[in-house]
Structure 1
């Protein structure tokens, strides 16, 4: 299977375990992706900057640089969706992965069907939000490239990794997600396509995906932008962590769904990063306040 860098259905797989690489390739190719597979973090960063994928899967424990550092380097120059795959289960590791720029975090051993579902959810967000294709990267910004690579502005043929002989088997444990909270959703308020959403000196344009603070551009990840847009649309209405999870999945109009504790911790981590970029303090917030035990909402318009 071959494609070009302009193909929106390209995925880069960064994984040092050949069996897992094989499984990831099969899952993503069944979802319509062309795949590029590499076995370490350094080559993974180069592959993302060269092939400009829509999606990147990233292992945490790899030779060279680990997945956290690879995610930071990728996120500094690419808007690719990042799904981290790891056996690390501590909450601090999940927070670190999301803080490094990952959009989702999946524990090993994973279920291929769950990975496919999470990928589909990310793609729904792209369609619903009208996110633009990631901006082109120059050869200088990409750094060293693979032998024979051409500048990133030139279409590159993608050679899919050859299938490996090792059997694609992952042990699947019993469901250990713990208690899950049922959620009943209400539709989001929407604004006109050309309208800016404004709160104090913060301005957000949903269609152009631009955020300004006092006239200065603010660089946000896709997830951070979607969270902020949801809060601005909701004004003073409190949005729970479960609400925000479903918004990010593109399922905000689902009448009933289940959201687990890991999803809520992910929202907390994304919110921490968003507040840091806004220069907002949780104890004395200017833009976003926490409603303890419930969720988040905008602060009052009054200074």
Structure 2
């Protein structure tokens, strides 16, 4: 049996593909490369990778469109690797379903750290459970569940199966959105701050240039807001009259 982790690299630049293939191959990945968006989507369907790296400047189609197409059938981790810096481009990537965003030039150590951080993310959710095995929840009559299973106003999450449903309908969540929902359900009616969420989700707050200087600082609060907005949209929730996720102004988020 082949237990190697699989990554699909989608980038128009042959030199960049070579660097990514060498770096990720040395890190123990089985690497498959594509030079176009169409071939990249086909490769993701065929290989069902653990991780995808995606350039936004592809020769045949827009990288954001490729990202959205992959998200229609896959929950793989997606790391955007692009020359486009700045908060607007970063937030657009997260809005389309990316898990992380890295600005070129590629720094192998940072690349490995980001990929490893994404793959560790489900095991890094360290918010103390608000229930213990086989004990009913006592903190709030509105939320009941077990360590790996939660139900709140018809919203159900099975952490072991990595599945979330409302009324029996499966929600198509990215891994980051799923982990974010899991954290909020674990915390129950307690508030989780944006700073806590950045740490628990393993989001990197700043890209640095080769000399260590800032090369596209990102606002972590805005990134969390984007993920919350995407999650609310998929839940069909209304921020003004929330059923599931409530914003505590100046503090963070909690269950409604």
Q: Does TM-score exceed 0.5, indicating one fold?
A: yes
* Root mean square deviation, CA, Å: 2.3
- Counterpart of 2:194? 241
Q: Residue 155 of structure 2 aligns with which residue? A: 202
Native 8 Å contact 2:188 2:254 kept in 1: yes
Relative distance call for 1:69 and 1:280 in structure 2 (3 A) is same
Q: Highest Rg: 1 or 2? A: 1
Distance across 2 between alignment mates of 1:291 and 1:261? 22
Q: What per-residue deviation string (whole Å, max 9, x for no partner) do you get for residues 140-187 of structure 1?
A: xxxxxxxxxxxxxxxxxxxxxxxxxxxxxxxxxxxxxxxxxxxxxxx5
Question: Per-residue deviation at 1:7?
Answer: 4.5
CA-to-aligned-CA distance 1:179-216 (integer Å, 9 cap, x gap): xxxxxxxx522245672322222222222222222333
What is the aligned residue count? Answer: 230
8 Å contact from structure 1 (residues 8, 54) kept in 2: no
| Pairwise CA distance, 1:48 | 0.9
SS in 2 for 1:125: helix
Unpaired segments ≥5 residues, structure 1: 130-186, 251-259
1:264 Cα deviation after fit? 3.1
- Give the 3-state SS of the residue equivalent to 1:77 in structure 2: coil
Matched residue, 1:20 = 16
Q: 1:113 and 1:106 mapped to 2: Cα distance?
A: 12
Matches for 1:70-81 after TM superposition, within 5 Å: 70-81=66-77
TM-score of the two chains, using structure 2 as the length reference: 0.82
Q: Which of the pair is proportionally richer in strand?
A: 2
Secondary structure (helix, strand or coil) at the match of 1:249 reads: coil
Contact conserved, 2:56 with 2:81, CA < 8 A, in 1? Answer: yes
Give, in whole Å, the separation in 2 of the partners of 1:38 and 1:91: 27
C-alpha distance in 2 between matches for 1:127 and 1:207: 11
Q: Whole-Å Cα distance in 1 between the matches of residues 177 and 166 of structure 2? A: 15
TM-superposed CA distance for 1:224, in Å, is: 0.9
Output one character per residue of 1:267-294: Cα deviation in whole Å (capped at 9) or x when no partner.
Answer: 2211111000111112221111112222
CA contact (8 A) 1:15 1:38 kept: yes
Residue of structure 1 equivalent to 2:252? 295
Q: Which residue of 1 aligns with 2:207?
A: none
Q: 1:265 aligns with which of 188, 197, 222?
A: 222
Pick one of 109, 126, 148 that aligns with 1:113: 109
Aligned position for 2:208: none
Alignment check: 8 A CA contact 1:240 1:296 kept: yes
In the superposition, the TM-score normalised over structure 1's length comes to: 0.70
Say which of 5, 24, 40 aligns to 1:9. 5
- Write the distance in 2 (CA, Å) between the matches of 1:114 and 1:262: 19
